[in-house]
């Protein structure tokens, strides 16, 4: 069947399309229908009963594939690798789940997971899924304060963490960060399970912390607990426009059905294939395509603890692909740019037999045509850009390799996937003509696997995503379609920036800068960066009569962002200005500032209060460049 037939088939009968996709999942009780018109934006397979861990692990063992490798851990930082079969994974997850249950974790309880790229992170996620507990994984590059904000929102009964993470040349001391976060948070967990790594053994807090190994002794393994189709599988926090992150909720059944469909139809992966997403479990890519997707499909997934360059060199990706027989590889464009910078000719690629690699997928930020071209030329396989978000959990637009490879247009993530009716709208919500830039929106309902609401914040869900264009989900991205319906994603319409494939809130950074005693007012924008796509840049207006030098204030605010948001914010630059450009109603003109910083043409905003301020900003920027 062609992509066009498939998409048309979905459009004509979405109910039948998704019920057929649902037949690939093992149900304890099959759903009576696919779509349920309930909740703020609809729900999927709500009256079915199902367990995620059963579908990701146990069913493959029952099908006789217990000896197949489920997870390969490859760590160029510790120079080690190990493999876990599906049978071993089932036993390990069942005993962890049993131990959690013995400590009182039940269906619906929240468990925060704060772990680096080790298989135990996936085991912790799967153990929660086995019990129907709702996990919330927090990325290791966030500081204690960000973890505390998530603890207060998710209110977990338990935290599962590792003693440390490993960045090139640096041990990330997770345990002190965890202790500080628990001190800062008003909500306190009942207990913490600490996985002690050999690189650092953490001091346990008596009465609260238990060791991962010790607490499993003498407990019974747990069976899978069937849950309702609309039971939350997990909460994943992502950046919005303010310092308060949004808790994206994922319902169990839609997640299973959509990921299973995407593995076969988008990534062309089935049981026994090796799939590698070089991301982190703390991001949505890690949830969908390091943990759940490949395992639901019965494939082998790779947990990679390393970087594209420097661990030890720009050949690491190719070494992993060769060593483990990767068929389909998924990474961020920034990672390919990092490799290209170190090895422009791709000489290291030639050192490895990559004949098993069939395709490269890119996502997380716009894939620039140069990067796609470089990868295509050097690897000799199709390079597929695809576009999605934490909120959707799987691709909105892609080139569906498992159905047919459509002609690639560089700079476009190709066409919408079944389930997504994507429209480009003007400010008033009317569709615009092909080639015209507008806000990208998706006609409701969203497909299975996408967010039904925000945790503890249904009102915010409605105002953030549904209110602006009634009947549509607002993606927050701007772009256009061409005459053939190919999508082009050009920019965000809000204050979210994308740094090295990581989604960050400039609003959150501004909240930190404003707290500095010398800062009267500030703005943070994302400026173009050849490696990371964007990097944050701060503008500070200082209070009068403060004795501290500008350099000192800048050093201090850089340190504050690192301490309070985390190193991942990559906030390294700020400049002091007299005034910020504003509209007459006082709104800071961040988008215009970003255009000036990137040397792009800009239109003088009609509502600007004082046009001269833009010249001052341009002056400060050229000073900074020098
Ligand atoms: N735990 C702790 N710290 C972390 C971390 C983690 N899991 N991940 C990143 N950091 C730190 C880094 O050590 C760095 O700290 P530093 O300021 O002390 O150097 C900082 O956060 C910024 O990290 P990053 O933006 O990743 O920059 P980098 O210079 O270390 O690496 C790239 C640049 C391009 C190699 C890297 O960003 C990369 O591989 N990006 C791909 C991203 C990706 O896969 N995204 C997922 C979406 S698909
Ligand atoms: P995240 O929620 O962290 O996955 O970030 C999602 C955002 O990243 C999207 O809303 C886009 O702004 C951007 N993004 C992700 N993939 C792409 C892509 N293929 N092309 C353009 N932008 C992308």
pLDDT at 547: 87
Atom of ligand 2 nearest to the CA of 479: 21
Q: Report how many helices (DSSP H) and strands (DSSP E) the chain contains, helices first.
A: 19, 31
Task: Examine the pLDDT at 606 and tell me if it is beyond 90.
Answer: no
Of the bound ligands, which one is closest to the alpha carbon of residue 280?
A: 1
From the CA of 139, how far away is ligand 1's center (Å)?
Answer: 11
Q: Whose CA is nearest to atom 38 of ligand 1?
A: 335
From the CA of 319, how far away is ligand 1's center (Å)?
Answer: 20
Residue 81's H or E segment, with its range, is strand 80-85
pLDDT in tens, 243-260: 889 999 999 999 999 999
For residue 488, give Cα distances in angstroms to 19, 410, 424: 31, 10, 10
389, 394, 465, 534: residue to mutate for ligand 2 pocket, most atoms within 8 A of CB: 389
- Determine whether the shortest distance from the Cβ of 368 to ligand 2 is under 6 A: no
CA 315 to chain centre: 25
pLDDT at 40: 97
pLDDT at 243: 80
From the CA of 363, how far away is ligand 2's center (Å)?
Answer: 7
Which protein residues touch ligand 1 with a CB less than 6 Å away? Answer: 140-141, 165, 167, 172, 278-280, 283, 285, 307-309, 331-332, 334-335, 338, 363-364, 500-502, 567-568, 570
How many beta carbons lie within 10 A of that of residue 198, not counting itself? Answer: 9
The DSSP code sequence of 154-220 is H--SEEEEESEEEETTEEEEHHHHHHHHHHH-SS--SEEEEE-BTTBPPPPPTTTEEETTGGGTT-P
Atom of ligand 1 nearest to the CA of 532: 34
In the block, which residue shows the tokens 């997770």? 174
Residue 331's pLDDT band (boundaries 50, 70, 90)?
Answer: very high
Question: In this structure, what DSSP letter does residue 431 have?
Answer: B
pLDDT in tens, 284-304: 999 999 999 999 999 999 999
Rounded average pLDDT over 485-512: 94
pLDDT at 495: 87
Task: Examine the pLDDT at 10 and tell me if it is beyond 90.
Answer: yes
- Determine whether the shortest distance from the Cβ of 386 to ligand 2 is under 6 A: yes
Task: Examine the pLDDT at 163 and tell me if it is beyond 90.
Answer: yes
Residue 48's pLDDT band (boundaries 50, 70, 90)?
Answer: very high
Task: Examine the pLDDT at 237 and tell me if it is beyond 90.
Answer: yes
For residue 378, give Cα distances in angstroms to 336, 340, 373, 570, 618: 11, 10, 8, 30, 39
Please name each of the domains of the chain with its CATH number. Answer: 3-407+420-478 (3.40.50.12780), 494-625 (3.30.300.30)
> How far apart (Å, rounded) are the C-alpha atoms in residues 185 and 153?
10
- Determine whether the shortest distance from the Cβ of 474 to ligand 2 is under 6 A: no
Of 571, 586, 583, 585, the C-alpha closest to 614 is 583
Contact 275, 299 (CB under 8 A): yes
pLDDT in tens, 346-402: 999 999 999 999 999 999 999 999 999 999 999 999 999 999 999 999 999 999 999
Sign of CA dihedral 509, 510, 511, 514: positive
Helices (H), 36-142: 52-53, 59-60, 86-102, 119-131
- Determine whether the shortest distance from the Cβ of 498 to ligand 2 is under 6 A: yes
pLDDT at 2: 96
Rounded average pLDDT over 52-59: 98
> How far apart (Å, rounded) are the C-alpha atoms in residues 142 and 135?
17
pLDDT in tens, 510-569: 999 999 999 999 999 999 999 999 999 999 999 998 889 999 999 999 999 999 999 999
Q: Whose CA is nearest to atom 13 of ligand 1?
A: 167
pLDDT at 626: 79
């Amino acid at each position: 069947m062609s992509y066009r037939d498939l998409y048309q088939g979905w459009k004509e009968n979405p109910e039948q399309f998704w019920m057929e996709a649902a037949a690939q999942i093992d149900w304890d009780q099959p759903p009576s229908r696919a779509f349920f018109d309930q909740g703020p934006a609809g729900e999927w397979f709500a009256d079915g009963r199902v367990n995620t861990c059963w579908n990701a692990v146990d069913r493959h063992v029952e099908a006789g594939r217990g000896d197949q490798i489920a997870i390969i851990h490859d760590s160029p930082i510790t120079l080690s690798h190990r493999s876990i079969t599906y049978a071993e994974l089932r036993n390990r997850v069942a005993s962890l789940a049993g131990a959690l249950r013995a400590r009182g974790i039940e269906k619906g309880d929240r468990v925060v997971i704060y772990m680096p790229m080790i298989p135990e992170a996936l085991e912790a996620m799967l153990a929660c899924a086995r019990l129907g507990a709702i996990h919330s994984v927090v990325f290791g590059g966030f500081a204690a304060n960000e973890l505390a904000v998530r603890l207060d929102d998710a209110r977990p009964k338990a935290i599962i963490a590792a003693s440390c993470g490993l960045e090139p040349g640096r041990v990330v001391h997770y345990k002190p960060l965890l202790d500080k976060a628990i001190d800062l948070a008003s909500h306190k967990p009942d207990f913490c399970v600490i996985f002690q790594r050999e690189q650092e053994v953490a001091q346990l807090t008596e009465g609260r912390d238990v060791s991962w190994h010790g607490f499993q002794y003498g407990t019974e393994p747990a069976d899978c607990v069937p849950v309702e189709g609309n039971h939350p599988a997990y909460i994943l926090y992502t950046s919005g426009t303010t310092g308060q992150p949004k808790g994206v909720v994922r319902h169990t059944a839609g997640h299973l059905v959509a990921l299973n469909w995407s593995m076969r139809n988008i990534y062309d992966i089935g049981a026994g294939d090796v799939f590698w997403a070089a991301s982190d479990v703390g991001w949505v890519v890690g949830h969908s395509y390091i943990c759940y997707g490949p395992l639901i499909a019965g494939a082998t997934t790779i947990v990679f603890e390393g970087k594209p360059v420097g661990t030890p060199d720009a050949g690491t990706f190719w070494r992993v692909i060769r060593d483990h027989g990767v068929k389909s590889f998924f990474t961020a464009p920034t990672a390919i740019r990092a490799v290209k910078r170190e090895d422009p000719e791709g000489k290291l690629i030639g050192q490895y037999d990559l004949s098993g690699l069939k395709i490269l997928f890119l996502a997380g930020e716009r894939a620039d045509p140069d990067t796609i071209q470089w990868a295509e030329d050097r690897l000799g396989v199709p390079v597929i850009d695809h576009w999605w978000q934490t909120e959707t959990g799987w691709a909105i637009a892609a080139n569906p390799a498992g159905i047919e490879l459509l002609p690639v247009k560089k700079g476009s993530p190709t066409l919408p996937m079944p389930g997504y009716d994507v429209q480009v709208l003007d400010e008033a919500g009317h569709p615009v003509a092909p080639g015209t830039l507008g806000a990208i929106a998706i006609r409701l309902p969203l497909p299975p696997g996408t967010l039904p609401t925000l945790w503890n914040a249904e009102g915010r869900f409605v105002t953030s995503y549904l209110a602006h264009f009634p009947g549509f989900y607002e993606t927050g991205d701007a772009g256009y379609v061409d005459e053939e319906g190919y999508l082009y994603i050009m920019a965000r319409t809000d204050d979210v920036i994308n740094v090295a494939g990581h989604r960050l809130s400039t609003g959150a950074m501004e909240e930190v800068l404003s707290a500095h005693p010398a800062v009267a007012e500030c703005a943070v924008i994302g400026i173009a960066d050849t490696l990371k796509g964007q990097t944050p840049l701060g503008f500070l207006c200082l209070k009068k009569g403060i004795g501290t030098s500008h350099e000192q204030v800048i050093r201090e605010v850089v340190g504050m962002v690192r301490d309070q948001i985390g190193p991942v914010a990559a906030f390294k630059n700020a400049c002091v200005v007299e005034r910020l450009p504003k509209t007459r109603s006082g709104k800071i003109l961040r988008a215009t500032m970003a255009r000036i910083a990137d040397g792009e043409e800009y239109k003088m905003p009609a509502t600007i209060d004082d046009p001269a301020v833009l010249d001052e900003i341009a002056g400060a920027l050229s000073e900074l460049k020098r």
